[in-house]
Structure formats: structure tokens, C-alpha cells
């Protein structure tokens, strides 16, 4: 690695998360789709337990934080407004040692700010993406890994610019964890990115959506996704664990046992994907990466917010030493 090369470059929107813990709420599924709905009394003054603000979060920033805790040299390509929230985001990133040279400040715009309603161990996120003028980073040398995730809905053309950047920088491997807008675009509109992807992450339902299929067999879903271009496909399936396919071999990895009931599931997927990517960046095998990722997820859900539970490499190695005997990937 060249001295000025960033090992793990996050690429995606950054946000401040405000967590609001609800007291008087309930869950119903009396709707045509039978999906769970968070319910509160309409028109009332509703007390809440507490509020927690988490700065510099979002899919890509969460991944950057996880990779940085593991010891990688990190950076972030993103946008902030000229408001106080933007200043707070930059300060938080700099305090964590993240390279902020490629963050664009938009003086006349606000920064992204999400509100997260917490009820028991689940959360409902109120999201608003500010539309920024996305720009490519000016890098002398491409990063070892670029971790691309959520961007706003005005970013379609910018995705093609990212693909051009990757073609011009063969030293860079792409890890792609699509956000909501990127999944809505589907495969055809992002064909060039899929074909340049080294490592792809999504959950089972997201894979079905991207592939426009009702196929239920994860091994089939992974092979179909691999056919779109990614060299390594990772699909998570909640409590059933995670699955990986590299074009030749498929693995299944279990979840790491929770030490206590989850407090907040925000960022669990980001921590898994980032840790898996970081493991490969550090030269670990796919099997080892599949064991390391769930440990960071297990830790994250024991805390409020997506980053408070991120572990160091030494801490993850300790959990591996103390893991149950059956905690290991199996070929499927």
C-alpha cells in the first residue's frame, strides 16, 4: 500500500441521528399487507423517555467508524451543509481520525438530520435526504477499498461517474451496500457499478427486490446476484445468519450469541458489512470475515446508535477465542 493511500474510503451521505425513546406506543398489523405498524394517539401530547443525538452517522460513515476502530486508515466522501450540524459532523469525524479532505461543504444548504423513534428493541427512522451537487473526490491514488452506500435520489448520474472513477483506478476494490434509492433503481440503471463490484451486501428481501423475483432459496439468490457482476455476494437473513458466495463456493455463517436482549438494532447491518470488508482489506479469508462481522453486529445492538458498540480488532479476536464451538462457517 502506498503511504498516501486510504485503506477504507466510505462514500455516501452523512447525517445526525436524533433518537427519541417512546413510552406510550404499541404495534398493530391490521392493514392489507399485514405489516407491523408503530401506533400512537393522534393529536395528543405524547411524553417520551429520553433523546440521544449521534453525530456523523449514516451507512457509509458507520462503516468508516467500524473500519477505523479495527485499525484501518479511513476517509469519507460526503456532503454537509454550512449549518451548525455540518460543523458538528466534521468535528466528530476529525476526532475519530477520519480523513475529511474529500467532504464538500455547501454553505447555503442544511445538513442531513434523521429522527429515530425507538420502541423496545426496534426503531422507525424518519429520513430526509438533502439534495447536494455530488462531486467525485480528487485523489492522487485510489483507495484500497471504496465502500459505497446510501445517496440521495438526485444522484443517478453521479453513480456513473463513480463507475468511471473505478475504471480509472484499478487499484481500488468496490464494496457496494445499496441504500434505499439505489435498490429502487434496480440493476439495469446501475449495471456499470454492479459489474465493477468486488463485494456486494444486502439482505434476503433486498436481493429479491433487486432481482425482481420471489425466489426464496438464498443460494439461488446469491448465484443470480453474482451473475450481475459482483465477485463476492453476501446476503444476510436476520436470525438465520449470513450467506456468502464467491462464484465457486457458498458458505453459511451463524449469528454470534447476544449477551443480553438487543437495545437498538440501528447500524447492525452496517457494522457487519464494514467488518467483513475490513477483514478482507486486512488479508483475512472469507471464512474469517464471516466470523468477525456478526461479532461487531452483536456488540452494536447492545448500545443506542449505530457506532457506540464498534469493537477493536483485539476485542473481536477475544470474542472469537471465547466463541461457542459451533460458531463457524459451513460450506453449503
Reported as a single tens digit per residue, the pLDDT across 233-292 is 999 999 999 999 999 999 999 999 999 988 878 888 999 999 999 999 999 999 999 999
- pLDDT grade, residue 306 (50/70/90)? confident
Query: Does residue 2 form part of some domain?
Result: no
> Does 35 fall in a domain?
yes
87: CB partners within 8 A, 6+ apart: none
Q: Is residue 120 part of a domain?
A: yes
Mean pLDDT of 85-89: 97
Residue 3 lies inside a defined structural domain of this protein: no
- Give the residue numbers spanning the domain of 294: 8-40+47-331
Where does the pLDDT of residue 44 fall: very low under 50, low under 70, confident under 90, or very high at 90 and above? very high
C-alpha cell at 192: 456499470
Q: What whole-number percentage of the chain has pLDDT above 90? A: 85
CATH number of the structural domain spanning residue 111:
3.40.1190.20
In whole angstroms, give the CA distance from residue 235 to residue 259: 24
2, pLDDT greater than 60? no
pLDDT of residue 1: 46
pLDDT range class, residue 16, cuts 50, 70, 90: very high
Number of domains in the chain: 1
pLDDT of residue 63 exceeding 70, the answer is yes
Q: Is residue 325 part of a domain?
A: yes
Percentage, residues of the chain above pLDDT 70:
99
Q: What is the distance of C-alpha 296 from the center of its chain?
A: 12
| pLDDT value of position 4 | 78
Report strand pairing: 103-106 vs 112-119.
Answer: unpaired
Contact 148, 174 (CB under 8 A): yes
Average pLDDT over residues 115-125: 88
Domain presence at residue 1:
no
Looking at residue 305, its pLDDT comes to 84
User: Residues 6 or more apart from 226 whose CB is under 8 A from it?
Assistant: 233, 245, 247
Amino acid at each position: 500500500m502506498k503511504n498516501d493511500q486510504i485503506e477504507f474510503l466510505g462514500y455516501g451521505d452523512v447525517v445526525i441521528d436524533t433518537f427519541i425513546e417512546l413510552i406510550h406506543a404499541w404495534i398493530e398489523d391490521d392493514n392489507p399487507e399485514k405489516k407491523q405498524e408503530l401506533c400512537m394517539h393522534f393529536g395528543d401530547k405524547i411524553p417520551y423517555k429520553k433523546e440521544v443525538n449521534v453525530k456523523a452517522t449514516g451507512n457509509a460513515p458507520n462503516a468508516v467508524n467500524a473500519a477505523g476502530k479495527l485499525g484501518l486508515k479511513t476517509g469519507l466522501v460526503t456532503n454537509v451543509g454550512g449549518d451548525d450540524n455540518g460543523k458538528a459532523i466534521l468535528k466528530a469525524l476529525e476526532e475519530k481520525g477520519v480523513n475529511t479532505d474529500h467532504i464538500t461543504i455547501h454553505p447555503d444548504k442544511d445538513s442531513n438530520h434523521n429522527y429515530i423513534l425507538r420502541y423496545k428493541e426496534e426503531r422507525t427512522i424518519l429520513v430526509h435526504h438533502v439534495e447536494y451537487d455530488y462531486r467525485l473526490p480528487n485523489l492522487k491514488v485510489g483507495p484500497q477499498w471504496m465502500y459505497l452506500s446510501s445517496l440521495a435520489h438526485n444522484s443517478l448520474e453521479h453513480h456513473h461517474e463513480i463507475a468511471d472513477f473505478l475504471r480509472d483506478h484499478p487499484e481500488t476494490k468496490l464494496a457496494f451496500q445499496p441504500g434505499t434509492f439505489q435498490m429502487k433503481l434496480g440493476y439495469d440503471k446501475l449495471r456499470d457499478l454492479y459489474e465493477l463490484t468486488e463485494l456486494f451486501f444486502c439482505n434476503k428481501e433486498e436481493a429479491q427486490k433487486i432481482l425482481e423475483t420471489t425466489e426464496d432459496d438464498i443460494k439461488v439468490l446469491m448465484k443470480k446476484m453474482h451473475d450481475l457482476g459482483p465477485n463476492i455476494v453476501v446476503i444476510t437473513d436476520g436470525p438465520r445468519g449470513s450467506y456468502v458466495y464467491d462464484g465457486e463456493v457458498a458458505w453459511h455463517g451463524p449469528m454470534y450469541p447476544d449477551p443480553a436482549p438487543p437495545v437498538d438494532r440501528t447500524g447492525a447491518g452496517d457494522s457487519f458489512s464494514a467488518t467483513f470488508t475490513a477483514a478482507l482489506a486486512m488479508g483475512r479469508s472469507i471464512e474469517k470475515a464471516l466470523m468477525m462481522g456478526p461479532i461487531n453486529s452483536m456488540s452494536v445492538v447492545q448500545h443506542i446508535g449505530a457506532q457506540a458498540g464498534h469493537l477493536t480488532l483485539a476485542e473481536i479476536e477475544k470474542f472469537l477465542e471465547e466463541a461457542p464451538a459451533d460458531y463457524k462457517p459451513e460450506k453449503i
